[in-house]
A and B are shown apart, each in its own frame.
Chain A
């Protein structure tokens, strides 16, 4: 009984200390940036000839095809291929870099390492295990699935040269749970080709996330 009391007491004390120290370290100048979620962005789900969906992270909207030659768009999706508004893909000042970590923990933009889309490779590489996803293959569990690799955060340089961080959550409609039997069974699996991702875009005032 006595022991339990001490335990609770210690936990309480520690919590208070933690709260105090948290308060102290918080930088009052930083304005919390809002985490946005883009849901079910179609990425050529019907498998027609290469057809991209152009997305503007600042506004959080899908753009018309006619905007593809502007620097308005930031990411373009078709199946597992994601273009950035850079190099061979677009006229913008975009680019991207994939870093390992937790979305929330990533606070600063790396100074170097950004890539542009080139003939040889895209800033966000395709291929199982090369970029942001893995293909589970015939023996995987679940089989024949495209799953985002956990712990991959894409730092995107937008068409206008701002920075955003993106975590892709799913490429299946409705962001389904991929560990259950419904997803396991190809007959009942959600439709492939719809992106759900969350992201944060830097504002003029804020260079950290």
Chain B
């Protein structure tokens, strides 16, 4: 009976399979440098396959001659004729399509994807650009990008789409950088000479990254060593006694690679305000060490270990009033961070990719005020933060049309600091899922979401939906919708700080009741404005955002991109006074109250004027507003004074200047020229920042009068690099040629000259 069934079954199938024996064809698709191209599409008539992360693919084909086409975004499609079963292995080297950007990015989807296939606003800054402009630290690179603003507020921070540093997640090789002061992550902590590229996603990415990725994500991808032995050394000297030294040594073979990067930066700093004793930028020196190690156990298992260590010392002077006396103090600061990130990558099967990532990092600051006369310590404080994470990510390339990514993770975070009640700990678990659907060459969709559960505040779900459509040869349209959030940080929950000079007190949301009780018992409270018992623990700040982009390719050598954005943020955390102390100063705590909107458009144009000359120009229009302020103005509840008579007038909507530190207009233009005959290049850049509100001066709490703005400015930067003997580059330049100064920009001390040398050596194994 059994036999019979098998025969029947075989007969039924014979039409299809028995007459057409299939053979397996293995292949690999690479670029001209031999690097495997993932997600390339292989088509043979009805059949198809997609290459894996190493560019490898398998396809079963019937005997006979087949026409196979191989395509990948950013590369020219190739067609080959193959005879099966004669051909068993097949290698294809695809040539780059010059017309299209072929940059591969990882940050947008946590998988390597061509930038052309990502329907999100994303900027990629290359190592080449960073090198050409002679930048020392990350702020100098980001300053020259469209829609990114450098804002000085407790450090040198970034602003994207009108949202401040608090709401931007900074990553090194995909792992978060910790250590913020009042929300600002100081970009001067980051050296740039070991950067391969910087990927900036604008708009919320909490669906993959969770908290903080509300305005965007800046992912710094560090350099990997080239095959063989390589070494480089780069030294630069600048105005204000600023020196910068970089050294890299690397080795890579097919199986292992190891490299170490070293940087020392130092400066005498400078003083822009003669009236104060302390320098605007103190004397400092900082050291960065970045070792990297990769070991391939087999084709399927790969282990990499990255680490970073940074240590910085600052020396300044401070004048402190003790009683009636002005005492001069040494103001000393130290900060350091280090991290360790082991990653294990496993290819379970073809198209199944597993990553296990561990991450441990610590950020530490210490500061001391020491009496210059008797060397006694007047004040000392420290801040010590730990962050640990373990994450499992599983990518499944189902076929050329469907890719899924799934991840699970656990984080724990601790802080121990002078102004915090105890050692405090946060624990969180999360899971994310993402589905990329590419039904046709013209259309692609990303759908994703992430769920975070936390020990200190409510669970949260962050969704994301993005779609891109190629309307025709010269128009791409991208639209995305996403949710972002930022959980309250340690400071907002647990700070217990009394300013030793001014005497005001700031209390975190979770300790405010207990501390107020203590202060009341100590008779320090005069009047209570808000009963501490009614103060609720603050909720996470959250946003929803919309982005709509158009990429236009008006000619073969030019691209113009528009991205319209709107971010609606609710539950914004701000401080508010809750009581007055007997010393006349207020006690503050944190509250969720405001609703804020930032919206506008980023426009960027790239024009290859000639093979040697590239021009790019960008502009951002930004409208930012606090809904509560707008409503109060509409209701006639906001007042100002007529400067001539000092009489009260009502503020009208047209006087409203939006949120502080936001420029309505900003932009830049860059000209890059390469001379191949004499081996030199020139980078000339101009940056414009329109006027921005700095703070209220007429008592109504909003920006509405002319003297509440900082003046707009133009910067002009020039860099000239000359290559000698192929290995040595002499570099020189002037930043801020026009010698512009602005009292609200401490990072702009006027004209800066620099010169340096860059030597690259390499020895290939082959």
- Bound Cα distance from A139 to B744, whole angstroms: 12
> Do A102 and B643 touch (CB < 8 A)?
no
Query: What per-residue 1/0 map shows which CB atoms of A94-110 lie under 8 Å from chain B?
Result: 00000010110000000
- Bound Cα distance from A147 to B707, whole angstroms: 15
- Bound Cα distance from A156 to B700, whole angstroms: 23
Does A167 belong to the interface (CB within 8 Å)?
A: yes
Size of chain B's interface in residues, with CB distance under 8 A? 29
Q: A127-B584, A179-B707 are in contact. Are A102 and B639 (CB under 8 A)?
A: yes
> Do A147 and B648 touch (CB < 8 A)?
no
Does B354 belong to the interface (CB within 8 Å)?
A: no
Q: A127-B580, A129-B577, A179-B643 are in contact. Are A140 and B648 (CB under 8 A)?
A: no
| Closest A residue to B695 using CB positions | A141
With a CB–CB cut-off of 8 A, which chain A residues contact B639?
A: 100, 102, 150-151
Does A198 belong to the interface (CB within 8 Å)?
A: yes
Does B527 belong to the interface (CB within 8 Å)?
A: yes
> Do B698 and A169 touch (CB < 8 A)?
no
Does B399 belong to the interface (CB within 8 Å)?
A: no
Query: What per-residue 1/0 map shows which CB atoms of A188-206 lie under 8 Å from chain B?
Result: 0000000010100000000
> Do B697 and A140 touch (CB < 8 A)?
yes
Size of chain A's interface in residues, with CB distance under 8 A? 32
- Option from B527, B580, B641, B694 in Cβ contact (under 8 Å) with A150: B641
- Bound Cα distance from A129 to B648, whole angstroms: 17
With a CB–CB cut-off of 8 A, which chain B residues contact A142?
A: 697
Within 8 A of B (CB), among A149-201: 149-153, 167, 169-170, 175, 177-180, 196, 198
Does A112 belong to the interface (CB within 8 Å)?
A: no
- Main secondary structure on chain B at its contact with chain A? loop
> Do B637 and A141 touch (CB < 8 A)?
no
With a CB–CB cut-off of 8 A, which chain A residues contact B47?
A: none
Query: What per-residue 1/0 map shows which CB atoms of B606-640 lie under 8 Å from chain A?
Result: 00000000000000000000000000000001111
| Closest A residue to B640 using CB positions | A150
> Do A167 and B648 touch (CB < 8 A)?
yes
With a CB–CB cut-off of 8 A, which chain A residues contact B646?
A: 148, 169-170, 175, 177-178, 196
Q: A141-B695, A141-B707, A141-B708 are in contact. Are A150 and B645 (CB under 8 A)?
A: no
With a CB–CB cut-off of 8 A, which chain B residues contact A25?
A: none
Q: A102-B650, A196-B646 are in contact. Are A141 and B697 (CB under 8 A)?
A: yes
Does B323 belong to the interface (CB within 8 Å)?
A: no
- Option from A127, A130, A147 in Cβ contact (under 8 Å) with B698: A147
Does A136 belong to the interface (CB within 8 Å)?
A: yes
| Closest A residue to B580 using CB positions | A127
With a CB–CB cut-off of 8 A, which chain B residues contact A149?
A: 699-700
> Do B584 and A151 touch (CB < 8 A)?
no
With a CB–CB cut-off of 8 A, which chain A residues contact B471?
A: none
Distance in angstroms from B697 CB to nearest chain A CB is 5
- Bound Cα distance from A142 to B648, whole angstroms: 18
| Closest A residue to B586 using CB positions | A129
> Do A102 and B648 touch (CB < 8 A)?
yes
> Do B697 and A136 touch (CB < 8 A)?
yes
| Closest B residue to A139 using CB positions | B695
| Closest A residue to B527 using CB positions | A121
> Do A167 and B647 touch (CB < 8 A)?
yes
With a CB–CB cut-off of 8 A, which chain A residues contact B645?
A: 169, 175
Query: What per-residue 1/0 map shows which CB atoms of A133-147 lie under 8 Å from chain B?
Result: 010110111100001
Does B279 belong to the interface (CB within 8 Å)?
A: no
Query: What per-residue 1/0 map shows which CB atoms of B557-577 lie under 8 Å from chain A?
Result: 000000000000000000001
> Do A150 and B695 touch (CB < 8 A)?
no
Does B2 belong to the interface (CB within 8 Å)?
A: no
Query: What per-residue 1/0 map shows which CB atoms of B633-669 lie under 8 Å from chain A?
Result: 0000111110111111110000000000000000000
- Bound Cα distance from A177 to B708, whole angstroms: 15
Does B60 belong to the interface (CB within 8 Å)?
A: no
> Do B705 and A179 touch (CB < 8 A)?
yes
> Do A150 and B697 touch (CB < 8 A)?
no
Within 8 A of A (CB), among B695-723: 695, 697-700, 705-708
> Do A178 and B643 touch (CB < 8 A)?
yes
- Bound Cα distance from A139 to B645, whole angstroms: 25
Within 8 A of A (CB), among B170-193: none
Distance in angstroms from A165 CB to nearest chain B CB is 12
- Bound Cα distance from A147 to B641, whole angstroms: 10
| Closest A residue to B641 using CB positions | A150
- Bound Cα distance from A103 to B639, whole angstroms: 11
Excluding A169-B647, A177-B643, 20 further A-B contacts by CB distance (< 8 Å) are A102-B648, A103-B648, A121-B527, A136-B697, A141-B707, A141-B708, A142-B697, A148-B641, A150-B641, A150-B700, A151-B638, A152-B648, A153-B648, A169-B645, A170-B646, A175-B645, A178-B643, A179-B707, A180-B643, A198-B647
Give the 4 A-B residue pairs with the shortest CB-CB distance, closest first.
Answer: A151-B639, A150-B639, A169-B646, A149-B699
Q: Report A's interface with B, CB cutoff 8 A.
A: 100, 102-103, 121, 127-130, 134, 136-137, 139-142, 147-153, 167, 169-170, 175, 177-180, 196, 198
| 7 CB-based A-B contacts, threshold 8 Å | A136-B697, A150-B648, A151-B637, A151-B639, A169-B647, A177-B646, A179-B706
